[in-house]
Structure 1
């Protein structure tokens, strides 16, 4: 019939063949990842040359800008604009940006924890800062993506990323040698606040002032949110005491006393930075985790970012008390009664914490063992406020081991309920050193 009207038959459409879409679904992310990685590598040199590997800050008009290269290639830059007049920043930002014609004491009045107009900073170094950004910027942080690179990511904690940096140098014989350093830097996702800048600055300044002490670990560099300190392979005291507490290792009486002497010397040096016998700084978080084993086996104290720079009366010259925010103490149950009562405090809070460490070395248990979970935390705090102490077994109380006797005495010297009746760090160090000389 199509031929009768001069029409040609039209070809019928053929059904389309199904394409293997599953291959596209699989290939899409793969291609995207390759392109993203390729683009990151293109931008690598650009960001490496233009931005610092650590946080830097500049003032531009009414805003303060903080630029940072994160430890992740796909997010290696961000800018945070912060209004300098923001009241939430006013207390801390003055540390870095003093007002015109303002001296150290006037600036100190605006950011210290106790503000009654009477107290001033004890020493000018408490307001200082000694960043070594140029030195730190020489570190090739992107080498961690290359085999055998200088920087290796080790782990991270609640606030910091930890890197191991291999620094090469020419030794006295003319050969190339290397040393491993630890670099701590604020985690990318953490907020950048004046308070965090302040605590890192405080940690760095304290380490710098204590570089003369063999019982405080060294500081090799500081910039922004970053600290460069020794990379220790001997671990910390917490690891050692944990294994001892669980029966995995034994620690002799001699070793326990040696630990106690080293720990006391570190705290003594912190509380006597200026050599005048008057504490100008506190640790604020003294526990076994903060003591590291150096290359010579000696315990070294560090991590001063929760402490306080102490002030003095402008009229009498006597040390002023302080009262940090109560939220600071939502952690452990080894703190002093005055801390849990949220009243005025002194360097004696560190002494109480040191007493808890002596209890640990004496009893093979942490204070309030078995009651450290959040379930019992409020109960234990109430007991501490009431002046109660954790129990000590009769076998330990009656022990004739001279080290046990000395550690028990040190615990009693440090754990007095009244802060004014606790000994100083120098006194407990001298006591333990005297016992060591008698026995060994």
Structure 2
């Protein structure tokens, strides 16, 4: 499970660095397609890749926040509630999808794998999350517990309550450091 925590930490680094590429705390890119296939393993490190759906974010200086955006087509079962509702979007769509990726790491299943896309999308918009087997959700393994907490940070229904990529990354790095002090070497 330490390997899964390492992968989750690397994923969170990639998303956090992308969001903050221009200035820390000022999101400038939303990937909008965070799935396992968007990461490439290079020299033992998972790196974010495939930016064909990304949105470069403009800054609203009057509201002191990134401008919201729309993506015209949001298929599948791996996206955020606001994407399926075709509401205004922020970089936080990536956070929700990152939670799905962490779910896949733990369960080895796609979210709502057994459901048709439309049915899964309705559940996601209604605030439901894919099932988690009790051997995972009740695990005492500290690496699993850390990933479960990260999923909780990512899967908030309300965009404003969802963690930033850097918050998830900071949490996972701290948990990894506790369990494996040599991991940064």
Shorter-chain TM band: over 0.9
Deviation string 1:83-137 (CA, Å, 9 cap, x unpaired) is xxxxxxxxxxxxxxxxxxxxxxxxxxxxxxxxxxxxxxxxxxxxxxxxxxxxxxx
Deviation string 1:133-163 (CA, Å, 9 cap, x unpaired) is xxxxxxxxxxxxxxxxxxxxxxxxxxxxxxx
Structure 1 counterpart of 2:183: none
Alpha-carbon RMSD: 1.2
Query: Any gaps of 5 or more consecutive residues in structure 1?
Result: 1-252
- In the TM superposition, what is the alpha-carbon distance from 1:314 to its structure 2 partner? 4.9
Query: Any gaps of 5 or more consecutive residues in structure 2?
Result: 181-185
Q: Secondary structure, in 3 states, of the residue corresponding to 1:411?
A: helix
Task: Please give the alpha-carbon distance, in whole angstroms, between the structure 1 residues aligned to 2:62 and 2:132.
Answer: 45
Task: Please give the alpha-carbon distance, in whole angstroms, between the structure 2 residues aligned to 1:434 and 1:335.
Answer: 27
Deviation string 1:227-264 (CA, Å, 9 cap, x unpaired) is xxxxxxxxxxxxxxxxxxxxxxxxxx121111111111
Task: Please give the alpha-carbon distance, in whole angstroms, between the structure 2 residues aligned to 1:318 and 1:386.
Answer: 27
- In the TM superposition, what is the alpha-carbon distance from 1:276 to its structure 2 partner? 3.0
Match of 2:95 among 348, 351, 363: 351
> 2:18 aligned with 1:278, yes or no?
no
**Structure with the largest fraction of helix:** 2
Q: Secondary structure, in 3 states, of the residue corresponding to 1:292?
A: strand
Matches within 5 A, 1:384-403: 384-403=124-143
> 2:106 aligned with 1:362, yes or no?
yes
Which of the pair has more CA radius of gyration? 1
Task: Please give the alpha-carbon distance, in whole angstroms, between the structure 2 residues aligned to 1:322 and 1:297.
Answer: 34
Task: Please give the alpha-carbon distance, in whole angstroms, between the structure 1 residues aligned to 2:134 and 2:61.
Answer: 50
Structure 1 counterpart of 2:119: 379
The ranges of structure 1 where at least 4 consecutive aligned residues each deviate by more than 3 angstroms after the TM superposition are 314-317
Structure 2 counterpart of 1:306: 53
> 2:74 aligned with 1:329, yes or no?
yes
- In the TM superposition, what is the alpha-carbon distance from 1:370 to its structure 2 partner? 2.1
- In the TM superposition, what is the alpha-carbon distance from 1:312 to its structure 2 partner? 2.0
Total equivalences in the alignment: 180
> 2:152 aligned with 1:407, yes or no?
no
Matches within 5 A, 1:2-13: none
> 2:177 aligned with 1:430, yes or no?
no
Q: Secondary structure, in 3 states, of the residue corresponding to 1:329?
A: coil
Deviation string 1:61-102 (CA, Å, 9 cap, x unpaired) is xxxxxxxxxxxxxxxxxxxxxxxxxxxxxxxxxxxxxxxxxx
Structure 2 counterpart of 1:293: 41
Structure with higher RCO (Cα < 8 A, 6+ apart): 2
**Structure with the largest fraction of strand:** 1
Q: Secondary structure, in 3 states, of the residue corresponding to 1:273?
A: coil
Task: Please give the alpha-carbon distance, in whole angstroms, between the structure 1 residues aligned to 2:150 and 2:91.
Answer: 17
TM-score by length of 1: 0.40
TM-score by length of 2: 0.93
